Structure 1
Amino acid sequence: MLCNVYLRSVILQTRRIGRFTEGRSVLTNNIRKSLCINWRQNYISSYCAFSKTLRMMVDTGANAGGRPMVDILQDKEDHGGFASGGWKSEDGKLSCGYSSYRGKRVTMEDFFDVKRTKIDGQIVSIFGIFDGHGGSRAAEFLKEHLFENLMKHPHFLTETKLAISETYQQTDKDFLESEKDTYRDDGSTASTAVLVGNHLYVANVGDSRTVISKAGKAIPLSDDHKPNRSDERKRIENAGGIVMWAGTWRVGGVLAMSRAFGNRMLKQFVVAEPEIQDLEIDEAFELLVLASDGLWDVVPNEDAVSIAMTEEEPEVAARKLVDTAYSRGSADNITCIVVRFHHEKLPQQPTTKTEPEEEKTATKTEPEEEKTATKTEHEEEKKVEI
């Protein structure tokens, strides 16, 4: 009797446990389904937003006055630190390609930026290479703020060179202020090209470089800021600094360039004042190459232009330049932008030389016939005399 009661109790408890387990299983399955659905929906929406951003982002509040600005971002990127992409203007007059590769470095400190907008009826295209050193924060700060600050300058269109110079130096101050509570002391170069209509302004701080091709000839539009440059060395020494050899010429034996953004500890000597060149773009100019020193260390200006000229698509040209630099032994991050100018070909004029040529031929024929006739008459007269 006791055994039967005990067995009956065990069976009842087992049934209760079974019901509880079944209910908990159902609840768990429902929770799992809900989580999976939510995760899947969030993943899809996030992925779509991410893909859309990678292709192209239009920021309607990016500059003063709410002018629409196209910010051309990376199209392709893999886990090897490589990114590339291309873009062409709506009017077909300009196209660009960019390629960036971490290379043999453990970290990526190169950044780049390409923007296009319209200000007071003028089409403005801006391209920039920012090569960080001692960290990536300075280069990233320039990508985020330099061009934004430039387009907000009140004299951007009327006094562009002044606007560029003041914006460079103010952005440098802004970066140092943002980093005042940190122990980092990283810096960055900047080589930028600003195209306002057909007028090109190239500004440079550091040892990144911009080269233009004119009738197939490579023309540098910037001069690397190296401490052993005579004028740079004089400027540094006049400010109380020294230039020393430490594997290469360095400011204070530390920094291998004489101008840069950031570098708080050397700011008295390492300034962010840009050197600026400007010129009008005409049909003789074919393309522009901007790159970090990871390219220029192993690829001369003439080689860069000749390699870029072999490719019609700027993105292919940029990738080819990066591949060439890597294959030639570049040990640095390598980033390159190629800008190609597409000039409108003048329509061929209708041939108008036919009538004058015929007229000229006819004019020539008559004297020749007259001369021949005269010569024949003289010969007959001579024969008669004989």
Structure 2
Amino acid sequence: MPGVMKKSELFNIIKSAACLNKSSANTGKGRSKLSNNKVSHGFHLVKGKSGHEMEDYHVSAYRCENNHELGLFAIFDGHLGDRVPSYLKANLFDNILKEPLFWRDPNSAIKNAYCNTNKSILENSTQLGPGGSTAVTAIVIDGKDLWIANIGDSRAVLCERGAADQLTVDHEPDAERSRIERQGGFVTIFPGDVPRVNGQLAVARAFGDQNLKAHLSSDPAIRHVLIDPTMEFVILASDGLWKVMKNQEAVDLVKPIKDPQAAAKRLTTEALARKSKDDISCVVIRFRC
């Protein structure tokens, strides 16, 4: 349940999450061990050239729950600091799996956990600061079921029969102008810039952002996919990749690369070659490895 934490408790959460994602852990890979339908993954994160510290965090882990093997994957793309994405890394999946509805109704459990986690972040904004984060999360159950959720513009793209299928929604301010205005906010579009909520944030949904909380949503877009042999892999990435690469380009680039870590690194390398200045973070999840 959301609540205000002691400053020392919150600092320890942030510190433990941050230690997992500094430069020593910006690339890696792993695979499932128990499921008959094997899953493998690789990740690669690159700090951008925008002048601030790295604000992207990732999750890539396997966990046994209720006699099922879960693959837990995420990209959290922070703004105005890294405290909110580090908090998400430490808490979001635990909050999802603690939801009583998870095994009966994953859709509702994920939605509730996103919203309750956001409430907790806002209630602890004195310690976490004014920043926020987008998120894209993936839960693979026994290598058979894929649950994707996102808020903001971090994106999940599925390769099925060689074709790219975007599983997430880019929550752009202009597309949600009516809701934002009903909640007392506004959307600006200055020449040469992207639409922004109250002239500040380029996404309509995010975690945190205390100063914009009245005008942002934390309600995730959720997609459920039954994994079948036509599906090869999923790419999760922050907008540092998608700003310079189309979905099909990304799929075509890494389709021949069987090692998911090498695939993730190939995507970040290409994004840098295309002059992406943002932090670039990528997880590639391969099915039936």
Tell me whether the two structures share a fold, i.e. TM-score over 0.5. Answer: yes
SS of corresponding position for 1:189: strand
| Partner of residue 7, structure 2 | none
1:237 aligns with 2:185: no
Structure 2 contact 32–71 (Cα < 8 Å) conserved: no
Give the TM-score, by structure 1 length: 0.66
Structure 1 contact 321–336 (Cα < 8 Å) conserved: yes
Structure 1 contact 206–258 (Cα < 8 Å) conserved: yes
| Partner of residue 274, structure 1 | 220
The one of 240, 253, 256 equivalent to 2:199 is 253
Task: Detail structure 1 runs of 4+ shifted over 3 Å in the superposition.
Answer: 73-78
| Partner of residue 334, structure 1 | 280
| Partner of residue 24, structure 1 | none
CA pair 95-75 structure 1, distance change in 2 beyond 3 A? farther
| Amino acid paired to 1:187 | G
1:99 aligns with 2:44: yes
How many angstroms apart in 2 are the aligned matches of 1:127 and 1:75?
A: 14
1:224 aligns with 2:224: no
The one of 112, 130, 135 equivalent to 1:166 is 112
Structure of higher RCO (CA pairs closer than 8 Å, 6+ residues apart):
2
1:293 aligns with 2:239: yes
| Partner of residue 9, structure 2 | none
Of residues 185-194 and 88-97 in structure 1, the stretch that sits farther from structure 2 once superposed is 88-97
Structure 2 contact 185–197 (Cα < 8 Å) conserved: yes
Q: Kindly report the root-mean-square deviation, in angstroms, between the aligned alpha carbons of the 2 structures.
A: 1.9
Structure 2 contact 125–210 (Cα < 8 Å) conserved: no
Instruction: Output one character per residue of 1:138-181: Cα deviation in whole Å (capped at 9) or x when no partner.
Output: 11110011011111111111110100000001111111112236
The one of 292, 298, 306 equivalent to 2:252 is 306
| Partner of residue 120, structure 1 | 66
CA pair 162-108 structure 1, distance change in 2 beyond 3 A? same
The one of 29, 44, 50 equivalent to 1:86 is 29
How many angstroms apart in 2 are the aligned matches of 1:89 and 1:74?
A: 20
How many angstroms apart in 2 are the aligned matches of 1:315 and 1:233?
A: 39
Structure in which a larger fraction of residues adopt strand: 2
Of residues 103-112 and 273-282 in structure 1, the stretch that sits farther from structure 2 once superposed is 103-112
CA pair 74-319 structure 1, distance change in 2 beyond 3 A? farther
How many angstroms apart in 1 are the aligned matches of 2:68 and 2:38?
A: 14
How many angstroms apart in 1 are the aligned matches of 2:245 and 2:43?
A: 17
How many angstroms apart in 1 are the aligned matches of 2:114 and 2:61?
A: 17
Structure 1 contact 74–85 (Cα < 8 Å) conserved: no
Q: Based on CA coordinates, which of the two structures has the bigger radius of gyration? A: 1
1:100, distance to aligned residue in structure 2 (A): 0.2
Structure 1 residue runs without a partner (length 5+)? 1-70, 344-386
